[in-house]
Amino acid sequence: MAVKRDKKLEKKIAESRIDFLLKLAEQRKNSDYELAKRYIELSVRMAEKYRIRLGKRKLGFCKKCLYPYRSDRMRVRIGKGVVRITCMNCGHVRRFKIKQHTKNRRA
């Protein structure tokens, strides 16, 4: 008889491994860029397999080529309420809106 999988436990283990791999990628991105990319590839594949959202963790690497952002491999521009991060490896542009706080706003 087959043993039933504990999916919650598997998801928890995958979450900790993803965090670990992303920390390793952050540490290695200045010394071994290709190895850092491999760590990110593994963590993204694991997140897809176990349906784990990366959330804020995905801001550290390019969505298209999965290379970690480094100061010499990215460009950041801010203007008109939008932050644009351009990957210098593949040219992919990632855009984010800036939240504007307004005081005493009446409906």
pTM: 0.83
Query: Which pLDDT value is given to residue 67?
Result: 94
The amino acid sitting at 11 is K
Query: Which pLDDT value is given to residue 11?
Result: 96
pLDDT in tens, 31-72: 999 999 999 999 999 999 999 999 999 999 999 999 999 999
97, 81 contact by CB (below 8 A): yes
CA angle 79, 95, 83 (to 5 degrees): 30
Query: Which pLDDT value is given to residue 107?
Result: 56
User: Taking the domains of the chain in order of start, what are their residue ranges?
Assistant: 7-97
94, 76 contact by CB (below 8 A): no
